[in-house]
Amino acid sequence: MSPLRHFTLFAITSSLAVTSAFAQTETKDQTTDERLDKLEAENQELRQQIGAVADGLETFELRDVIPQLGESHTGLGPAASKVYNLQSTGSVSIGGYGEFLYQDSQGGRDTFDAQRGVLYFGSKLSDKWILNTEFEFEHGSTSASSGSTPSGGSASLEFGYLDYMHSQGLNGRAGLLLVPMGFINERHEPTTYLAATRPQTESRIIPSTWRELGIGIHGQSDAMSYRLYTVNGLNGSQFDASGLRSGRQKGNRAAADDMAVTGRMDFDIGSGVTIGGAFFHGNSSNGQEAMLGGSNLETLIFEVHAEVQSGPWHGRFLAAQADVDGVAAFNTATGENLAERLEGSYVELGYDVLAGTDSGMSLSPYVRYERIDTQASLPAGFAAMTGQDIDITTVGLNFKPTPQVVIKLDYDDFNVGSDRWNLLIGYIF
C-alpha cells in the first residue's frame, strides 16, 4: 500500500472518531437508541467513503504504472505503444514481451531457446515530451552456452528515444531509433505476425531488428502516416556474401563520418488495406575508404509492402532490394564476395477460423512463401556463391487463447539446407 493511501486512510479514520465524539455530546437530549442509530448510519456512510477513496487510489496507481494495451502508435507493437496511453504527466508505463522457441531440424541438431525477453519502460515527462525505451535480453544468458551454439546471449538497448509531440501531423524524435522499414523491424512483438520465425527478407535484406542513432520527424493524418530520420550510416567493413546485417552499429560507439537518410510512408486505402514503402540511403565507408579499396560503398535499401486485415483474413506482401556501389574495389581489397544487388520478397496469408465467435480466442492456419537471394548480381570478375538463393515455404497454425498469448506451430520447407519444425510460445503485457 502506498504512503499516499496510508495517509488518506489515517485521515479519514481520525475524522470518523472526532465526528463520533462530537455527535455524542451534541445529542444528549436524545434517547440512547436514537443516538446509536444515528451514529451507526454516520459510521456506515464514512466507511463507504473510505472504501471508495482507497479503491480510487489503487486504481489510479495501477493505471498510471501499467496502462492497458492499446493500438499501435507510429508503427510500434501494442506493448511498445503503451506509453502513449498515459494520461498523467510524470507517470510511468511498463510493458514487454517474450518468446520461447523449439526447433526440430530435419538434418541437424534440435534446439530449445529462451529467444527473447523484453521490457519496455516509458514516461510521459510533460504534455509535450515522451520517453520510450526497450531493453532486450536474448538467448537466456550472456554467458557462453554449453550447447550447440558456443556464443552466449546479449543484453541490449533495442531502442531509446525522446518524442516531442507537437501535433498530429508533425512531431520530433531523437535517440536510438528503429529504422522504419518493413513490418518486423518496428512491430516485432510475437502476437503481431503469424509465423514462429521472422521472414529471412526482414533479416538479411532489411537487417531487423535494426536500430541506429539519429533524429527526425513523424506524423500522421486520417489516411496517411510517415517517418523521416537522419541516422548514422552502416559499417561497410562488416559487409559480406551473406548480406549487410553485420554492418548494423546498434548505437555502440557508432562511426558517424557518414550519415544516412531513412523514411517511410503508409496509406490506409480502406477495407482494411494498407500500402506503403520505405528506404534507407547513405555511404557505408564511415571514414574507412583506404581499407575498403577506396570505395564509399553507397548503400540504397528500399521496400514496398501491403497488408490486409479484414474480418478473419490477415495477409502481407513485402518486396525489398539493396544496391551497393563500389563493390568490385571492396571485394578486391577485402577478399569478400559482396553482391551489388541483394533482393528478397514474401507473401503470407492467414484465416482466423474463430473470428466472429464469442470465445475471445483466435486460431489461424497460415501459409508463407519467401524468396531471398543475397547474391542476385555481382560485379564483373566475381561469381555468385552457392546456397544464397533460397526459397522457403512455411505452413502452420497460430493460436491465441487470449490476445496477449500466442502459440505457433509451423513447418519450414527449404530448397537449400534442412527443413525444420518450429514451436513458439510468446506473450506480451
CA-angle at 211, arms to 209 and 213, nearest 5°: 175
Write out the residue range of the structural domain in which residue 408 sits.
66-428
Say how far apart CA 280 and CA 302 lie, in whole Å.
6
Say how far apart CA 179 and CA 132 lie, in whole Å.
15
Say how far apart CA 375 and CA 342 lie, in whole Å.
6
Same domain, 35 and 177: no
Same domain, 111 and 47: no
Backbone angles phi, psi at 255, to 5 degrees: -65, 130
Residue pair 141/225 in contact (Cβ under 8 Å)? The answer is no
pLDDT at 147: 56
Same domain, 211 and 353: yes
Same domain, 46 and 133: no
pLDDT at 167: 97
Give the residue from 44, 63, 82 where a domain finishes.
63
**CB atoms < 10 A from the CB of 282, how many?**
22
Say how far apart CA 304 and CA 296 lie, in whole Å.
26
Same domain, 247 and 109: yes
Cis peptide, bond prior to residue 31, ω within 30 of zero: no
Same domain, 162 and 14: no
Domain containing residue 158: CATH number: 2.40.160.10
Give the residue from 12, 40, 63 where a domain finishes.
63
Q: How far is CA 234 from CA 77, 131, 238, in A?
A: 25, 25, 9
pLDDT at 136: 97
Same domain, 87 and 53: no
pLDDT tens digits, 187-246: 999 999 999 999 999 999 999 999 999 999 999 999 999 999 999 999 999 999 999 999
User: Which stretches of the chain score pLDDT less than 50?
Assistant: 2-29, 59-60
Same domain, 9 and 100: no
Cell triple for 279: 528506404
**What ranges in 251-377 are assigned the alpha helix state H?**
327-334
Same domain, 28 and 71: no
Q: Name residue 268's beta-bridge partners.
A: 274
pLDDT at 291: 86
DSSP E strands: which ranges in 191-332? 211-220, 224-232, 259-270, 273-283, 298-310, 313-324
Backbone angles phi, psi at 156, to 5 degrees: -140, 150
Say how far apart CA 2 and CA 59 lie, in whole Å.
12
Backbone angles phi, psi at 216, to 5 degrees: -175, -165
pLDDT at 229: 98
Say how far apart CA 72 and CA 273 lie, in whole Å.
16
Same domain, 309 and 293: yes
Same domain, 26 and 91: no
Same domain, 41 and 172: no
For the chain, the distance separating the N- and C-terminal CA atoms, rounded to the nearest angstrom, is 23
Residues 6+ apart with CB under 8 A from 374: 204, 205, 241, 242, 243, 339, 342, 388
- The DSSP secondary-structure symbol of 205 reads I
Please state the domain count of the chain. 2
- Indicate the burial class of 48 (C-beta count within 10 angstroms; 0-12, 13-18, 19 or more): exposed
Residues 6+ apart with CB under 8 A from 89: 124, 125, 126, 127
Give the residue from 31, 47, 63 where a domain finishes.
63
Cell triple for 68: 492497458
pLDDT at 312: 97
